[in-house]
Amino acid sequence: MTSFTVRAAGLALVLVSLHAGAQDEAIPRTGNGKPDFQGYWSMTTVTPFERPVSLGDKAFFTPEEFAAFEAERLEVEETVQGTQADVHYGFDDYGLHPSQNVRATNLRTSIIYEPANGRLPDMTPEAAAMRAEKQAWYAEHATDSAKNRMLQERCIVWPHNGPPMLPTGYNNNAKVIQTADHLVFMQEMMQDPRIIPLDGRDPVAASIGQWYGHSVGQWDGDTLVVTTTNFTGLTGRQIPTFSTDAVVTERFTLESPETILYQFTVEDPATFVSHWSGEFRMQKTTGPMFEYACHEGNYGIVDVLSAARAAEQETP
């Protein structure tokens, strides 16, 4: 059995780097002349969400450094017999390993590029205190009821569903459907359609919170700018959780027929001491994308809760 492990990169600092990407290639366009984002996209990347501290403010790898970094991140390791990883199915057995998926080149050393250290900004004292309180409470009550389990375990929303949408461990595929006045972006995992009107309409009433927020798009030249408000105050990077006043701005730019440059900025003064921004590329891939029915097959949550109740019977 093999398993992939993400290891910290210990790479030497080099000052000069390249930012891959070209915008001179003709891109497909819809009947109304807008960039046509339709199709299937892979969000698979080896780029970490936060930059390894050892890299400091080094924002880009050289191509040579990137090659070494990628090789290390994609390494498939033999697992240790008797461990959980050893009895888990091998991710590379089912095409789930990042090495088995198409990936866009990204010389950035982290998805986050602002702040300059490539790491999430500090939380506000109030948000940090709330987070600590939540974590303590969860530690005590994690198996008390279904509602105490993590949102992704309840098949409600994964942290990477966003917005901002982020790569995750596997199933990093997405599908885009586009009409003259809407764009639908649907990630493979959880498979909820983000239905984005492109008319720049006003957000819905502030009292309406949604797991994915409420998104409105408009064109800035050939870039689709999507503004999302109306968060629940319960999601985001889950911990730390975005406040209900968070605003996420995403920019989708079709750099070529094969790549989308996806950029985002999170503004949430109640949670973070500064805004933060990130980017990565999505790479064109092929469909179809099959149904991902998480909740319908969620026997795991029954097992977790029933095991906890059984354990309480044994140790009153």
Contact letters for other proteins, residues 75-114 (x by CB under 8 A): ----------------------------------------
Q: Which of 2, 17, 124, 143 binds other proteins (CB under 8 A)?
A: 143
> With binding defined as CB under 8 A, does residue 258 bind other proteins?
no
- Candidate segments 2-10, 19-27, 46-54, 295-303, binder of other proteins by CB under 8 A: 295-303
> With binding defined as CB under 8 A, does residue 201 bind other proteins?
yes
Report DSSP letters for the chain, one per residue: -EEE----------S-------S-S---B-TTSSB---EEEE------SS--GGGTT--B--HHHHHHHHHHHTPEEEPPTTSHHHHSPPGGGTT-SGGGS------BS-SEEESTTSSPPPBPHHHHHHHHHHHHHHHHHTTT-GGGS-TTTTTS--GGGSSSP---SS--EEEEEE-SSEEEEEETTT--EEEEESS-PPP--TT--BTT-EEEEEEETTEEEEEEE-B-SS-BSSSSBPPTT-EEEEEEEEEETTEEEEEEEEE-TTTBSS-EEEEEEEEEE--------TGGG-HHHHHHHHHHHHHHHH--
Of 36 and 72, the one with the shorter C-beta distance to other proteins is: 36
Q: Which of 20, 27, 102, 186 binds other proteins (CB under 8 A)?
A: 186
> With binding defined as CB under 8 A, does residue 138 bind other proteins?
yes
Q: Which of 17, 36, 92, 96 binds other proteins (CB under 8 A)?
A: 36
| Binding interface with other proteins (CB under 8 A) | 28-32, 36, 38, 133-134, 137-138, 141, 143-148, 151, 154-157, 177-182, 184, 186, 191-193, 195, 197, 199, 201, 204, 208, 210-212, 214, 234, 288, 290-291, 293, 295-296, 301-302, 305-306, 308-309, 312
